[in-house]
Amino acid sequence: MTLGERQGDEKNDSKYCGVETEFNDDMPQLLSLNIHGGFDFVVAPLMDPAYRPSLLVSSNGGSGVLPFAGSDLVLSPSQWSSHVVGKISSWLDLDSEDETLRRDSEITLKQEIAWASHLSLQACLLPAPKGVTCANYARCVNQILQNLSNMQLWLRIPLEKSDDDDGNRSPNSMGEEHRDSWEMWNSFRTLGEHHSQLSVALDVLSSLPSVNSLARWFGEPVRAAIINSNSFLTNARGYPCLSKRHQNLLTECFNHSIQIVISGQQMQNFPTGTSVSNSHNSNNQSEGVEGMQRHPLRSYLDYIAYLYQKMDPLPEQERFELGYRDYLQSPLQPLMDNLEAQTYETFEKDTTKYIQYQRAVAKALVDRVPDEKASTITTVLMVVGAGRGPLVRASLQAAEETGRKLKVYAVEKNPNAIVTLHSLLKIEGWEKLVTIVSSDMRCWDAPEKADILVSELLGSFGDNELSPECLDGAQRFLKEDGISIPSSYTSFFQPVTASKLYNDIKSHKDLVHFETAYVVKFHRVARLTSPQPVFTFNHPEDSTRKSNHRYTKLRFEIPTDTGSALVHGFAGYFDSVLYKDVHLGIEPSTATPNMFSWFPIFFPLRTPMCVQPGIPLEVHIWRCCGTSKVWYEWGVTSPSSSPIHNCNGRSYWVGL
Amino acid sequence: MTLGERQGDEKNDSKYCGVETEFNDDMPQLLSLNIHGGFDFVVAPLMDPAYRPSLLVSSNGGSGVLPFAGSDLVLSPSQWSSHVVGKISSWLDLDSEDETLRRDSEITLKQEIAWASHLSLQACLLPAPKGVTCANYARCVNQILQNLSNMQLWLRIPLEKSDDDDGNRSPNSMGEEHRDSWEMWNSFRTLGEHHSQLSVALDVLSSLPSVNSLARWFGEPVRAAIINSNSFLTNARGYPCLSKRHQNLLTECFNHSIQIVISGQQMQNFPTGTSVSNSHNSNNQSEGVEGMQRHPLRSYLDYIAYLYQKMDPLPEQERFELGYRDYLQSPLQPLMDNLEAQTYETFEKDTTKYIQYQRAVAKALVDRVPDEKASTITTVLMVVGAGRGPLVRASLQAAEETGRKLKVYAVEKNPNAIVTLHSLLKIEGWEKLVTIVSSDMRCWDAPEKADILVSELLGSFGDNELSPECLDGAQRFLKEDGISIPSSYTSFFQPVTASKLYNDIKSHKDLVHFETAYVVKFHRVARLTSPQPVFTFNHPEDSTRKSNHRYTKLRFEIPTDTGSALVHGFAGYFDSVLYKDVHLGIEPSTATPNMFSWFPIFFPLRTPMCVQPGIPLEVHIWRCCGTSKVWYEWGVTSPSSSPIHNCNGRSYWVGL
């Protein structure tokens, strides 16, 4: 019946809450009890836990019907698929030293999943690996996944990591005592080549690892969080509740579409008669069907619903960007291609950005023309890449605001935008103030030199839309002491876990997609360290160095308490100094609020790299310039070397 | 003029010896001096070492002809390509912190290689990386390699590794002091995706690392060994010589087609007048052209020639197998396909093998029939998979040798071989002793049960030609106390560096070839540890276990003094107990001598794995059985996890 509705996030799967049950011969009754008890789905065993293939073979000679719980007819197909997650027998141990147990486990696993698949279940919960090694388990699941149509397999992983992990241990964690369950998961999914139908169900225990250690899971394909009733506390009024840290974890789960499953027994008697949900100010009205007994885990469910409902509604910008979450877009090529009206329309709506530009121009005007000369000196300002005029407007407003006289040139290479610019001038009565120039700034023969050059040529990674090359071309008509707005910009890199993005890229089955940078609204992504600056460009560039070629080597240290983590690639950002203290950017720690023109960029790694505590991640990035294109190359050299990505710009480049 | 000829190995490139020279404006003179001095080729700088692009640009404005040494016309095209290896300027430092030097290096590298390529040189020698990091150098070379036609690039690497390396250091060797030059090479080639035109020129220094550390290089693409005159010792008679360890290293180089290049100055005056080569009993007659001065490095060259000539000639079997070295063959599918006459012909020539079989049958006959009953008891022996009859012959000879009476059934599924068998019986007069059965042993309805079952169904990896499945089928007609020859067999695994094999597989650009096992005569391969047993099959199999499914986990420890090494895959072998102490096999430590029926098998890894000292290599191997095929899956879990290879036998399988 859902945990509730969250404004702005109606499609979030995490509003459905499940319950883990024991084996029950009578599935219709089991389902009815739990659905009427308030749960949306059950995670229920499909086969009698006493079943062992090896016993069966010796008793009736290997033929015989498997001891399934009833037939597929006991529920309708839609009941099976919308209300039942198959719980694979928990006695399975595919890496046991006992060969009979191992063979029994292997046969049973295949039988149960075949049965679940026959029922069109959406998912099955696989038991947690039992030992320090999981290779045979991973191999069997990998074999099964090759022929599995749509079903998801949720591998149960206890959320545990010892905190005394000091980062000095040997990297050979597999052969020794397993202290970080993430490593088991990483080995399992690596053996299975990151199959997209294999995901994680986290067993949330009563004590939680560090915040950093938890955070890496949000870049992994976690589909469910199983929380046992014994992880709950009891509040002053006798009702179940969770520690603050557990509450935060669950909120993060809700935000990442991770479904909650409640497991275990009712731990104590809660006050009866009073609705628990009321005690939490919940608007969840369902009290169970009349005459039916209250579900023993109902109080826990009500508390989870309460947590769900008390989340803040999604901010408007987040809501607007919901559809873009984790969706890979190729960056614009505004230099080679002309932007379309729709694109201009979208970007022009970003008020925050133009307010920043207006502030920067105003400051530059005041610096350039003292108050006493305001009425005599006319500043020549050129907007290079004027588009449909938003920077012209911002500049004129700055002039008006500061009382400075302005002569504006609006230089634009897109002839379609020029049409709109002419119309704008007429409508606004700017004909005397603004000269429209239909030309590429790199080859325009300007009639005079500018005091101020204003441009908005930045991409998500700063220089990636070739602002440096364009402004180098425009610098010819900037006065020696002229000002460029922006006056500099810097790109940033940050290692991330991004399992979803990796799988989307992998699905193309080619090299090109692994050597391309994508614009993407990160959501199911774990940011593993603080970002570090990559390349900086200054304008005007007064050095004699002509080249915009750049090379930087970065060294990231992942916090030790994170544990190991898988790096699927690097998030890229930029920050730009427009003028003096007026900046604009998307680097998370200094990001300009309420700005939506740029999503981050993502540079993938062809092979994700596992980084262990205490061992630095070293990455090299090149900006390479050819005669007709600019491109990046990138590669990792520690903890081990990757191939150099995008050699000679073979996969991804920006046309000049 | 070559170091000499080695019997049986005439095509070995290592008979050509080069000399490293200084820059000389006059290439014809340089070449003439050195060729007449006895060398086959020069490794000579192509450009004045004083050249720096940044100086050139500021002095003449960036235009201008590059200061090359003369034109391409000074030598004929064939002189250039057969006698000159281009030595790239040694001042280049592409990872310098000094940006001007870095840019100069990058430009010069590209110019020199373009020039060398214009001259159609066969190879260029790249200077050794200078610092602890080589990422930018690797990137530039990688860019160049993408568009380089046929030229080889030899990266110079000093052969050094500190011996106090105790295996307990942190795996992050790149960021710290570089004590093992192999790691630099490994990083360099990994960044460049193992390009097949990038190889190694080892700088042999006066002190050598451990034997294990040297050995790993023979699995790498080493093309040249550069030995400086200061690495030579002086013998009692005043001539240059090398330490025993250096001599062994050079012999290994000769065996692996690695060309020697002598560098440096004449270190002292050697006795004149007497030919040094005579002092070593060399038959190398060339004493230089009359009237020309003796080459200052001639005495060193003569010593190298002496070492070359004193090698033992290649053994006959090695000579026979020369053409198979490092050549990947798909394993036979003798069960699905019928062998051809040519194949029978080859295998029947392996006398050693059939002598072992004859010994085994003889022992079994004597065990089964005591002397006193020799004339009364007739032993029923069935050759299953009789082919064209070699085991029939061996069995009859064993009967004759021991005086036992024998009744032989020759069971063969290949109707073409049956034709030959009938003819053999007539020729040999065996009609009364041998019954020919044209049937697959798995479905033959035998008229009586056998005392002894003889088969030769083993592949390079023992069970990989489905001997277990065939003999399980034949066991029906073996008496309860009957004997199978072979009575058991065991497969073995051994991690290897095999850069050449890896590149051959990679050149197919698909997954299938990386998930296939190949039969291959290993040559340019480094065996990194002792082999370990994988699967054992016993015949007859008395347990009730019906399955021939197997799973084994192996843990290899590479000797600490090896240093790090790259594992490209696993060599596979078998050993078989024919009967009691009579065995047959190719596992190196116990291999049956003078047997040529089996080359080893090679299980590749899709991504080579770097294993560092002290960290175990853990590999899992499965033998999986389906209804119509048998296949292997394999994967590594330490030092990190690989994908499971050949899931569900998707790439490689053996048909039942």
Task: Quote the CA–CA distance of B242 and B203 in Å, as a whole number.
Answer: 15
Q: How far apart are CA B359 and CA B454, in angstroms?
A: 12
Helix (H, G, I), strand (E, B) or coil at A251: helix
Beta strands in A4-105 (DSSP E): 17-20, 41-45, 84-87
**pLDDT score, position B611:** 97
At residue A28, the pLDDT reads 92
| A465 noted as active-site residue | yes
Distance of residue A578 Cα from the nearest chain B Cα, in angstroms: 28
B441 is in an annotated binding site: yes
CB B92 within 8 A of CB B127: yes
B147, B190, B610: best to mutate for the A interface, most A CBs within 10 A: B190
Q: Residue A442 and residue A444: Cα distance in Å, rounded?
A: 6
And the tokens for A583? 């900046």
Distance between B647 CA and the closest CA of chain A, angstroms? 6
Altogether, the residues listed in chain B come to a count of 656
Q: Does B613 touch chain A (CB under 8 A)?
A: no
Per DSSP, helices labelled H in B192-261 are 211-215, 244-255
Does domain A13-161+178-229+248-264 fall into CATH 3.20.20.150?
Answer: yes
Name, in order, each residue with C-beta under 8 angstroms of B266's C-beta and a sequence gap of 6 or more. Answer: B229, B296, B297, B299
User: Are the C-beta atoms of residues A430 and A618 closer than 8 Å to each other?
Assistant: no
Give helix A298-309 / helix A244-255 axis angle, nearest 10°: 70
- A-B contacts at Cβ under 8 angstroms: 124
Residues of chain B found within 8 Å of residue A610, distances taken between Cβ atoms: 640
How far apart CA A481 and CA A525 sit, in angstroms, is 44
Cis peptide before B588 (omega within 30 of 0): no
Geometric angle at alpha carbon A353, from A349 and A357, rounded to 5°:
125
Which H helix or E strand runs over A78? helix A77-83
For B616, list phi and psi in degrees, rounded to 5: -70, 155
User: Distance between CA atoms of A115 and A47, rounded to whole angstroms?
Assistant: 10
Q: What is the pLDDT of residues B489-506, one digit of tens each?
A: 999 999 999 999 999 999
Query: Buried b / exposed e across B32-64, counting CB within 10 Å, b at 16+?
Result: ebbbebbbbbbbbbbbeeebbbeebeeeeeeee
Sole residue written with tokens 């002397």: B371
Burial of B140 (0-12, 13-18, 19+ CB in 10 A): buried
Tell whether A547 is within 8 A of chain B (Cβ).
yes
CATH number attached to the domain at B13-163+174-314? 3.20.20.150
C-beta separation of A229 from A240 below 8 A: yes
CATH for B341-456? 3.40.50.150
Round to whole Å and give the CA distance between B445 and B452.
17
The neighbouring-strand residues paired with A536 are: A490
Sketch the domain layout of chain B as residue ranges: 13-163+174-314, 341-456, 490-655
Pairing of strands A617-625, A629-638: antiparallel
Residues of B in contact with A639 (CB under 8 A): 171-172
Which pLDDT value is given to residue B588?
97
Contact B545, B497 (CB under 8 A): no
Q: How many CB atoms within 10 Å of residue A38?
A: 23
Spot the catalytic one: A20, A456, A587, A633: A456
Q: Which residues of A are annotated binding-site positions?
A: 344, 353-354, 412, 440-441
Q: What's the pLDDT at A9?
A: 78
Residue in chain A nearest B195 by alpha carbon: A643
HSE-up of B461 (CA within 13 Å, CB side)?
Answer: 26
Token pair 């679940």 is at which residue? Answer: A116
For every residue of B401-464, DSSP letters joined together read HHT-EEEEEEEES-HHHHHHHHHHHHHHT-TTTEEEEES-TTT---SS-EEEEEE---BTTBGG
What was the pLDDT predicted at A215? 97
> Domain B490-655, CATH 2.70.160.11 — does that match?
yes
Helix (H, G, I), strand (E, B) or coil at A275: coil
Which parts of chain B sit beneath pLDDT 50?
A: 61-63, 165-176, 178, 274-279, 281-289
**What pLDDT shows up at residue B172?**
45
Mark yes or no for CB contact B171/A614 under 8 Å.
Answer: no
How do A550-556 and A617-625 pair as beta strands? antiparallel
Q: Is position B465 annotated as part of the catalytic site?
A: yes
Q: What is the pLDDT of residue B66?
A: 61
Tell whether A139 is within 8 A of chain B (Cβ).
yes
B54 — contact with chain A (CB < 8 Å)? no
Asked if the Cβ–Cβ distance from A174 to B547 is below 8 Å, we say no
Name every chain B residue with its beta carbon within 8 A of the beta carbon of A555. Answer: 175
The neighbour count for residue A207, using CB atoms within 10 Å, is: 11
CB contact (8 A) between residue A136 and residue B174 = no
For B179-205, the DSSP string reads -BHHHHHHHHHHHTTT-TTEEEEEEE-
Closest CA to A655 of A442, A391, A438: A442
The per-residue pLDDT for A334 is 79
Tokens coding B428: 């040999």
Q: Which residues of chain A have pLDDT under 70?
A: 56-70, 163-178, 272-292, 544-545
**Tokens of residue B172, six digits:** 């992050």
Nearest to B172 among A553, A607, A639 (CB): A639
Nearest partner of B551 among B640, B624, B472, judged by Cα: B624
The CATH number of A491-655, from 2.70.160.11, 2.60.40.1180, 3.40.50.970, 3.60.15.10, is 2.70.160.11
- A558-567 pLDDT tens trace: 999 999 999 9
User: Is there a contact between A410 and A436 (Cβ–Cβ < 8 Å)?
Assistant: yes
Compute how many other C-beta atoms are within 10 angstroms of the C-beta atom of residue B130. 16
**Residue in the structure block whose two tokens are 């004027």:** A386
Q: Is B223 helix (H, G, I), strand (E, B) or coil?
A: strand
Task: Give the closest-approach CA distance of B639 to chain A in angstroms.
Answer: 6
Could you identify the residue written with the tokens 């291959």? B520
